[in-house]
Each structure stands twice: as C-alpha cells, then as structure tokens.
C-alpha cells in the first residue's frame, strides 16, 4: 500500500473515533500570518509533498488543481498528527480573513469546535482580531492563542528579553479581557489564555518555529536562546528543534475540545430543537447511529461533481446514495457522493459519521446555513447565524 493510501485508511479509521478528532479554524486580522501558518502546518504534517511546500500558497491554488487533475477544496484541509503516542485527525476549516466576510467567518465557526487565534507580535490585537475572537466565543468555540512574527520583534525592533515579555503580556491581557467579557459564563475561567498551561504559543510562521511553556520545559530552550537563534541567523536550526507543526498541533490536541466533548455544550446553544428528542440526544452525544443532522457551512461549484456542500455532521451518519431532506429548502435530494478531506483533496467514502467535516455532492439547492436531515426524521434548523462585523466593546 502506498503512503498516500495508508494515510487515507488512517483518516477513514480516525473519523469513527471522535475523541481523536479536532475541528479547528485559524482566525486572524489580515496580514497577521494565517495563510503562512496554514501552509506550513500542512507541509509539516506531511500532507503535501516537499516540492509543493515552501512558497506555494496551499490554500489558494487553482493551477495546482489543474496540473494534478484532482479536486482540491481551498476551504478545507485535514491532517493526521501524532501526539503522545496517539494519532489525531485535525480538520482545518478556512475562515475568510476580511471583516466584510464576517458572515462567512461565523459560518465557518459553526463547523469547528476550537480556534487558533493568530496575533502579529508587532501590531498586537487589531480590530479584526477582536471581531473574530468575539465570533468564536459567541459560537462557544474555544480559542488558543498564537503570537506570530516574533522574529520581527528580535531582528527588526531589537527588543530585549524583558521588552519581549512585556509585549506578550500586553497582548495576552487584551485577549483575556475579551474572554472574560464574551466567553460563555461557565467557561470564563477555563478558557482564559494561560502562558503557564501552554494555551499560548509564540513563534514565527514564516520561519517555521514555535514555542510554548511546556515545550520550553521539555527542550530547555528559553526566550534568551530564541533571541540568540534569531540574531545569529539560525532560525532554520530553531525550526528543526521546535517545529511549528509539532508545537501548534500539540497545543490544539491538548487544549481544544474533541467533537464529542464540545457538542455536549454547543448543541443546546446552536440548535433550537428539543434536546431530549432522539435528534437532540444523538447530537449532544455525537452518536453516529441516530437521526441525521448536518449543518452546511459552504457550497462551491465543482466542474466534475456539480454543487458541493461542505458541512459538519452533528448527528447520525450521512451515506452515499441515500435520500436526505433539506430543511430550509423544503426539498428532498439524493446524496451522490460523500467524503472527507485528505490534505486539501477530497476523498470519497461510503459514510461519514457524526463529529466530522463532510462534503456532499448531490444536495442540490443547499445553501450555506442549510440543515440536512433524514426525510423520516425531520428536525428543526440550526439557529440563525449572528453576524458580528463591528467590535462592540473596545479593549484598551
């Protein structure tokens, strides 16, 4: 079996283990490094070949799709990550960067359980950082923090260790003010960004390294060493010692919830139906055997497959060839293909169970925000998405 086929088998196996899945989004103010980070995570997780890594913009790539004759969905990628002797399936949903797409960001947030908030160390928290963090929290999506472009603080701004630290503390304090004000009441303390527990990482997406306190303790690399690596032009060496993929995906696995953990508290928040009903119970327990519930987050048109809806399976299992009901469209449709992501490619499967990000071909007429269910078990729609385009509270 080729390495690729083995990886695909792994993904098909992991999609039945919700405790080993992390559905995440990366959110940031424009230019803070979201694209660079996404590309380098994919390359580091071995999901793209060496020759495609590097300068290739992996999340914007029409030519690659044409050159390789495969179907690439720029909006979603998945990775298999080894952490502490276990394998995890990380589904990364692209969230549009510009504030005008606030609605799309919210929709993407609906598909995920956790978010990596990227903040440029030079600019700090900007209005859009605040908006996207606020959107995540309102959707009950747990955040972790990545302070990016630390190389610039050292090489361009020539900051000393205590100045570096002060800058980091200021960013973390500002982000925590939002958590305190906006996070669901029961998580206000638990979701606070905490340097000591490793829910904040520092690094350079461009130079491919990152560090957080648990990794500092393990590798004995401290901020003074990092300053030396940057000043001595040895960031490649640093990237070898503390690779960004290892550190950030480790943080994701450790601190962001699995679908079964998060659906228990998110479903009552985002779905208006009766939680005690079979559909409600199926969703809160991420049960693959109950009534089907899929929330569509994005629809694209593919030249081979036609309309392709991407969404999150909250309950039951969606299967190829079955009839489904589009709640908003009041129409039945036949599912022609279903599948999951392998890196940026789509891989067809017969079934996709609860807890996963799915693509569906054949759900004709589905629009973003649509709810898909069984024709025999009609359910109420997921709650309308609240669009937040302006920060409501200014953090000083």
- Judged by the rule CB under 6 A, the positions of this chain that interact with ligand GDP are 28, 30-36, 97, 148-149, 151-152, 204-206
Tell me whether residue 59 or residue 253 sits nearer to ligand GDP (CB atom). Answer: 59
Smallest distance, ligand GDP to C-beta of residue 248, A: 12
Tell me whether residue 118 or residue 354 sits nearer to ligand GDP (CB atom). Answer: 118
Smallest distance, ligand GDP to C-beta of residue 164, A: 14
Smallest distance, ligand GDP to C-beta of residue 197, A: 23
Tell me whether residue 26 or residue 292 sits nearer to ligand GDP (CB atom). Answer: 26
Q: With 0-12 CB in 10 A as exposed, 13-18 as middle and 19+ as buried, what is 42?
A: buried
Smallest distance, ligand GDP to C-beta of residue 14, A: 28
Tell me whether residue 209 or residue 325 sits nearer to ligand GDP (CB atom). Answer: 209
How far is residue 330 from each of residues 107, 271, 294, 327, 366, measured CA to CA in Å? 21, 18, 15, 5, 10
Smallest distance, ligand GDP to C-beta of residue 235, A: 9
Tell me whether residue 96 or residue 268 sits nearer to ligand GDP (CB atom). Answer: 96
Return the sign of the alpha-carbon dihedral for residues 373, 264, 134, 98: negative
Smallest distance, ligand GDP to C-beta of residue 142, A: 21
Tell me whether residue 87 or residue 123 sits nearer to ligand GDP (CB atom). Answer: 123
């Amino acid at each position: 079996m080729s390495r690729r086929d083995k990886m695909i088998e792994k993904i098909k196996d992991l999609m039945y283990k919700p405790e080993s899945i992390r559905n995440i989004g990366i959110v940031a103010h424009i230019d803070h490094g979201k694209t660079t980070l996404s590309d380098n995570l994919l390359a580091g997780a071995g999901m793209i070949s060496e020759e495609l890594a590097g300068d290739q913009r992996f999340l914007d790539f029409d030519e690659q799709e044409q050159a390789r004759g495969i179907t690439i969905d720029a909006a979603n990628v998945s990775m298999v990550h080894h952490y502490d002797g276990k394998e995890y399936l990380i589904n990364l949903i692209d969230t549009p960067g510009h504030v005008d797409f606030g609605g799309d960001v919210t929709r993407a947030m609906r598909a995920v359980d956790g978010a990596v908030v990227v903040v440029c160390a030079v600019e700090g928290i900007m209005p859009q950082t605040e908006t996207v963090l606020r959107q995540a929290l309102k959707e009950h999506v747990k955040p972790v923090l990545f302070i990016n472009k630390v190389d610039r603080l050292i090489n361009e701004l020539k900051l000393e260790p205590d100045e570096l630290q002060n800058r980091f503390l200021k960013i973390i304090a500002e982000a925590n003010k939002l958590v305190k004000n906006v996070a669901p009441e029961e998580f206000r303390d638990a979701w606070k960004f905490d340097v000591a527990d490793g829910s904040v990482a520092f690094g350079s997406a461009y130079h491919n390294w990152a560090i957080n306190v648990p990794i500092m303790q393990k590798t004995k690399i401290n901020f003074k060493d990092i300053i030396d690596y940057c000043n001595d032009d040895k960031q490649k060496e640093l990237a070898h010692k503390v690779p960004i993929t290892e550190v950030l995906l480790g943080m994701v696995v450790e601190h962001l919830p699995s679908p079964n953990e998060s659906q228990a508290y998110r479903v009552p928040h985002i779905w208006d139906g009766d939680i005690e009903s079979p559909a409600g119970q199926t969703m809160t327990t991420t049960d693959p055997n109950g009534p089907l519930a899929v929330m569509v987050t994005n629809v694209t048109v593919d030249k081979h497959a036609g309309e392709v809806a991407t969404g999150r399976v909250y309950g039951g299992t969606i299967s190829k060839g079955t009839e489904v009901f589009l709640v908003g469209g009041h129409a039945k449709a036949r599912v022609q293909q279903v599948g999951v992501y392998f890196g940026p490619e789509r891989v067809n499967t017969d079934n996709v169970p609860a807890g996963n990000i799915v693509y569906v071909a054949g759900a004709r007429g589905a629009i973003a925000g649509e709810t898909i269910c069984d024709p025999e078990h009609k359910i109420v729609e997921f709650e309308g998405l609240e669009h937040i385009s302006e920060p409501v509270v200014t953090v000083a």
